[in-house]
């Protein structure tokens, strides 16, 4: 299982959610209850063990270094967040993620500023010197999002302020005007 990242963690979590739904749909109340109790007991045990591991490692300098390394691994990070025992605060993880991509963004002619973190959302200001090219800002946002989601999987949304407004006009906006013009031509005839 080595080499698993945040996407793989999400896949495992999704599979587990599907299984919980299947168990919840079981016909027999006793079987459903027993299966859900087993799952909850397993999660409680895992949570207690992870909490104890974090507590033990946090007791020494070398342990804290190991915790930092474990906490930066996307798969381990996801588990620590799932059980509420990640040793680094959410705000610090997001700030570090943003800092980690700044050099890459500068090379691409962009910059990012962390504005706020609230309700599982991160608000950023992203600027690009890409000569107004909307895809450049999208690419910069994608880079920042990936870094944030890997270090803070509990974040559900990254909102980028300062992205240029598209000059695209949807077809359905133009169609009513075309219909009005046609009606006018018909009544004039």
- Domains belonging to the chain, first-starting first, are 6-82 (no CATH), 90-161 (3.30.300.130)
What's residue 4's pLDDT? 55
Give mean pLDDT, residues 63-88. Answer: 89
Output the average pLDDT for the chain.
Answer: 81
Length of the chain: 189
Q: Which of 36-45, 121-130, 133-142 has the lowest mean pLDDT?
A: 133-142
Give mean pLDDT, residues 60-67. Answer: 93
CA distance 7 to 149: 9
The pLDDT of residue 34 is above 60: yes
- Considering only residues 82 and 186, tell me which one the structure prediction assigns the higher pLDDT: 82
């Amino acid at each position: 299982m080595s080499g698993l990242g945040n996407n793989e963690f999400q896949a495992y979590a999704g599979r587990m959610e599907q299984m919980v739904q299947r168990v919840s749909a079981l016909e027999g109340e006793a079987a459903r209850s027993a299966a859900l109790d087993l799952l909850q007991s397993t999660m409680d045990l895992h949570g207690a063990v992870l909490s104890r591991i974090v507590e033990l490692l946090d007791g020494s300098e070398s342990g804290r270094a190991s915790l930092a390394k474990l906490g930066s691994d996307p798969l381990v990070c996801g588990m620590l967040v799932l059980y509420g025992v990640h040793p680094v605060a959410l705000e610090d993880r997001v700030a570090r993620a943003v800092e980690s991509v700044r050099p890459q963004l500068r090379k691409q002619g962009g910059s990012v500023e962390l504005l706020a973190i609230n309700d599982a959302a991160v608000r950023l200001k992203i600027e690009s010197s890409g000569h107004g090219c909307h895809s450049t800002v999208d690419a910069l946002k994608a880079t920042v999002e990936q870094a944030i989601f890997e270090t803070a999987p509990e974040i559900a949304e990254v909102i980028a302020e300062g992205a240029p407004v598209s000059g695209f006009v949807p077809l359905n906006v133009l169609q009513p005007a075309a219909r009005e013009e046609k009606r006018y031509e018909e009544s004039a005839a």
